Structure 1
Amino acid sequence: MSDAEKWQPYRHPQPPEAAAELVVPDVVPKDERVWVPVEPNVWFRPLLLCVSRGYWCNLLRVRRAGVLSRHRHPQPVHGYVLKGEWRYLEHDWVAREGSYVYETAGETHTLVVDPHVEEMVTLFQVNGAMIYVDPDGKVMGYDDVFTRLAKCRAHYEAVGLGGGFVEQFIR
Structure 2
Amino acid sequence: MTTAEPRAPQSLDERWQPYRKPQPAESNPELVIASAVPEDERVWVPIEENVWFRPLLLSASSGYWMSVLKVRRAGVLSRHRHPQPVHGYVIKGSWRYLEHDWVAREGGYVYEAPGETHTLVVDPDVEEMITLFQVNGTMIYVDPDGNVTGYDDVFTRIDKCRAYYASTGLGAGYVDQLIR
1:12 aligned onto 2:14: no
Alpha-carbon shift at residue 26 of structure 1 (Å):
1.7
Structure 1 consecutive aligned stretches of length 4 or more whose deviation exceeds 2 Å: none
C-alpha deviations, 1:21-43, integer Å up to 9, x for none?
Answer: 00011211111000000000000
1:74 paired to 2:76: no
Gaps of 5+ in 1: none
Please list every run of 5 or more consecutive structure 2 residues that lacks an aligned counterpart in the other structure. Answer: 1-9
SS in 2 for 1:167: helix
Q: Any idea what SS the aligned residue of 1:146 has? A: helix
The structure that has the greater radius of gyration is 2
Find the aligned partners of 2:68 and 2:40 in 1 and give their Cα distance: 14
Q: How many residues align?
A: 171
How far apart in 2 are the matches of 1:27 and 1:99? 17
Give the counterpart of 1:96 among 92, 105, 112: 105
In the alignment, the residues of structure 1 paired with residue 13 and residue 109 of structure 2 have an alpha-carbon distance, to the nearest angstrom, of 38
Q: Which residue of 2 aligns with 1:112?
A: 121
Does the alignment pair 1:153 with 2:162?
Answer: yes
1: CA distance, partners of 2:33 / 2:59: 14
CA drift at 1:111: 0.1
Counterpart Cα distance in 1 of 2:137 and 2:103: 24
TM-score, reference length from structure 2: 0.94
1:123-151 residue CA offsets vs partner (Å, 9 max, x unmatched): 00000010000000000000000000000
1:43 counterpart residue number: 52
TM-score by length of 1: 0.99
In the aligned structure 2, how far is the partner of 1:73 from the partner of 1:170? Answer: 22
Q: Give the root-mean-square deviation of aligned CA atoms.
A: 0.4
